[in-house]
Structure 1
Amino acid sequence: MWQAPSWTEVANGYLDLTQWGPPPWSEIQWVTLRNVIELAEDS
């Protein structure tokens, strides 16, 4: 059975974590992260 990746894996696929850095994230980063996840889920 196909299993959807976790949102963390999805986000990691879209973000360059070496530039993004670990949590805690700023509000702007959270907004961007949420947008990335929404785009990933819609595609």
Structure 2
Amino acid sequence: MSEKSGQGSDGAVYTHIKKLVQAGYIAQDKRITGNKGQTNYTL
């Protein structure tokens, strides 16, 4: 994700996303697809 957005490391991007989820600005949906985890975010 960071390569596409140009916002820095994955850890930094995840930290910002986590704060937005906690504040209620975005919703997080985690699923297991096959043997991989997938997380989707919506506004």
TMscore range, shorter length: 0.3 to 0.5
Higher relative contact order (CA 8 A, sep 6+): 1
- TM (norm. structure 2) is 0.38
- TM (norm. structure 1) is 0.38
